[in-house]
Amino acid sequence: MIPIGTYVSQIPVAIWTRISMPMAPFLNQVNPIDYTVIKTIGFSQYANDGVQHTLFVDDMRVIKGDGTSPQVSAPKGLTAKGYEKHAILKWNKNPENNVGGYQVFRSYDNGVTFHLVGTTSNKNDTVYSDYITDNTASGTKLTYGVKAINDAGQPSEMSEPAEAFLKNFSDEELLDMVQEATFRYFWEYGHPVSGMARERLGSGEIVTSGGTGFGIMGIISGIHRGLITRQEGLERILKIVNFLNNADRFHGAWPHWMNGTTGNVIPFSNYDNGGDLVETSFLIQGLLTARSFFDGENLEDSLRRKITSLWESVEWDWYTRNGSDVLYWHWSPNYEWIMNMPIRGYNECMIVYILAIASPTHPVSASLYHTGWAGGNYLNGQSFYGYPLEVGWNYGGPLFFTHYSFLGFDPRSKKDAYTNYFNNNRNTALIHHAYCIDNPYNYPGYSDSCWGLTASDDPDGYLAHAPHTSNDNGTISPTAALSSFPYTPKESMKALKYFYRNLPKTWGYYGFYDAFNQKRNWWATSYLAIDEGPILVMIENYRSALLWNLFMENPEINSALQAIGFTYDPFAIDEISSFNKHFELIPIPSQDVVYLNYLSDQPISVSVNIYNSTGQLITTMYQKLFFDQNSKAKLLDISSLKRGLHFITIEGPQLKEVLKFLKD
């Protein structure tokens, strides 16, 4: 026990005070401390004055030597960029080896008065996200400065200042902001040797196969949004593909985790040191999307050929375990099938069966989709909070079920023997939204703006959070609502705004942190590739359908869907919900003519198609039909149609609606 009072005469109340203590008293104990295995430093009250005192401790460091260190220079190259509630700072790494971190200062008066707003504790830190908790107005000017700290905790001179301005963001600007921040995780934090996505912030050499598949799609989104050039994205994905070609594989399948430098497998669990077919599927989904995107010559042609080679070398049929009627998740050269995990729905693994059936070299029979994927406890048929679920868990399960397999696979306007997955996914997200409004366990924070349960970090570790299960412990994961943008744009945007504007601790340099639990006053500071990727990709699919369109361009995919039995389904989102309608039909029922009325004033050109009740296209009435405030009603001649139920689809830029009518 070493009295702190020996080294400081008085600690002022409510003021941070730096205290320096020599290590010699700790080393000269009767039982000397082994600093290679130290886990905890304990504090106890030494004063015996009958009063309980509270001591706050932060930023503990052990400095080698006598506690002195040469002065370091002021950081250079500081830049600042303002958003609505935060600013992003970047600077050049200091050249000195004795830098211990940096201090960040903010000024509201053009640099006359600076206040310390944050510190970093790593000499390699050259970025900082400063969230402004003050009630500052749009247009507020912020002036920033940065100091380097040497190993003894002594600051340098202040850097040259940098300025940023806050401004109110539109919905589109908020989406740009979230995509830009989330993109940084894959671009700036990608493994320096392989380019692969690291498993999570701080995971070092561990890279993840599935998360890299998500990240590849995110890089394509980054090119589309102008965050990087096409050439930069091409070079990064080539680096990843070259690494994958030499990494450990097991009958063509990659492991869940690999060493990002060597490509050697890192066991995910005791027996999981071989191929992981689910992670491989998430990776292939991203690679096939890239194959469609990079459609040029030279290096782009080389990339396509390399991706095709990787795709064709996955032995999907091996993972039927000697020809059974189901695919298996794992195989290990040491333990073979000891994991014994058949891949059955409903969960996140639908894409595995689509790819296995689509394989041009090692396909499995399309019958496995029904005997394997849908061969277990697949159907549901109940309604929850008024929303029907045709397949899946009661209350939908964790929301990542609706994301991972649908980053590339476009579920719109199609159905299999069981459901229309866009509708089912949308209803699942709406059930989560309704559940958080209902809040049956009275968790703090749950509301129509704060919703979404999925697998994520939580106060006790990691858990697949889901409604009305013991796995709901009050943890909200931003990826749940934000990755649901294509299904629930209104509800997801409300959640985005609430998280960003009202919960400062949810936001950091790479966007929204993994999770938070207000009952436990717990706020994650972690980022996971498999949670970051769906945010970036699904927001892009909501805005442009880019990744959906690219993945679905692969001819093998459509052939597989036909073999499975997917058919066109005009029962889309508009058959379930009537909000945000742009068109109506009158009268209903109709005989020879029907009026298509436009309910908005914005000019628009749309195509008009009519389908029968089985989803078969009957006629394309118009390829381009123009509406504006002066031309809002069009007469459609339906005299040639047979009697019965029909569906009319109206498609235009960022719009698709399905209306039904009865022909007498």
Domain boundaries, the chain: 79-168, 174-550, 576-663
- In this prediction, residue 74 has a pLDDT band, given cuts at 50, 70 and 90, of very high
pLDDT of residue 578: 37
Q: Please give the average per-residue pLDDT across 570-595, as a whole number.
A: 69
Whether the pLDDT of residue 360 is over 90: the answer is: yes
Band of pLDDT at residue 613, cut at 50, 70 and 90: low
267-276, 307-316, 431-440, 642-651: the lowest-pLDDT one: 642-651
Q: What is the DSSP letter of 472?
A: -
Q: What is the pLDDT of residue 463?
A: 97
> How high is the pLDDT of residue 571?
63
Q: How far is CA 531 from CA 178, 257, 467, 539, in A?
A: 13, 16, 18, 13
pLDDT band at 10 (very low <50, low <70, confident <90, very high): confident
174-550 and 576-663 have identical folds? no
Looking at 1.10.357.10, 2.60.40.3080, 3.40.50.150, 2.60.40.10, the CATH number of the domain 576-663 comes to 2.60.40.3080
Whole-angstrom CA distances from 547 to 306, 421, 560, 607 are 20, 17, 19, 23
pLDDT tens digits for range 180-219 = 999 999 999 999 999 999 999 999 999 999 999 999 999 9
Residue 170 has pLDDT above 80, yes or no: yes
Q: Which of 157-166, 390-399, 568-577 has the lowest mean pLDDT?
A: 568-577
Question: Is the model more confident about 67 or about 132?
Answer: 132
**Residue closest to 132 by CA, chosen among 117, 150, 119:** 117
The pLDDT tens digits of the residues spanning 126-138 come to: 999 999 998 888 8
Task: Check pLDDT > 50 for residue 18.
Answer: yes
Task: For 490, list phi and psi in degrees, rounded to 5.
Answer: -65, -50
Token reading at 260: 């990002």
Confidence of residue 287 (pLDDT cuts 50, 70, 90): very high
Confidence of residue 576 (pLDDT cuts 50, 70, 90): very low
Lowest-confidence segment of 18-22, 110-114, 297-301, 426-430 by average pLDDT: 18-22
Q: For residue 275, name the pLDDT band (cuts at 50, 70, 90).
A: very high
Res 35: pLDDT: 63
The tens digit of pLDDT for each residue in 305-342 reads: 999 999 999 999 999 999 999 999 999 999 999 999 99
* Percentage, residues of the chain above pLDDT 70: 95
Residue with tokens 């921040």: 181
| pLDDT one-digit tens code per residue, 382-394 | 999 999 999 999 9
Instruction: Give the closest residue to 550 by CA, choosing from 292, 255, 244, 239.
Output: 292
pLDDT band (50, 70, 90) for residue 573 = very low
- Residue 156 is predicted with a pLDDT of 98
Which value, to the nearest 10 degrees, does the dihedral of the CA atoms of residues 273, 278, 282, 284 take? 80
Contact present, 514 and 524 (Cβ < 8 Å): yes
575 pLDDT band, cuts 50/70/90, is: very low
Q: Contact, 608 vs 618, CB < 8 A?
A: no
Assigned fold of 79-168: Immunoglobulin-like (2.60.40)
Q: What's the order of all strands across the beta sheet hosting 115-120?
A: 115-120, 99-107, 141-150, 162-165
- Report pLDDT for 658: 81
pLDDT value at 572 more than 60: no
H-state helical runs in 439-507? 478-482, 489-502
Q: Band the pLDDT of 577: cuts 50, 70, 90.
A: very low
Give the pLDDT of residue 580: 54
Task: Examine the pLDDT at 413 and tell me if it is beyond 90.
Answer: no
Binning pLDDT at 50, 70 and 90, where does residue 36 land? low
* Whether the predicted pLDDT of 589 surpasses 80: no
Alpha-carbon dihedral 315, 318, 323, 329, rounded to 10 degrees: -100
> What topology is assigned to 174-550 in CATH?
Glycosyltransferase (1.50.10)
The order of strands in the sheet holding 206-208 is: 206-208, 257-259, 265-266
Pinpoint the alpha helices (H) of 392-466.
421-438
What is the reported pTM? 0.83
- Find the mean pLDDT for residues 102-108: 98
SS3 301: helix
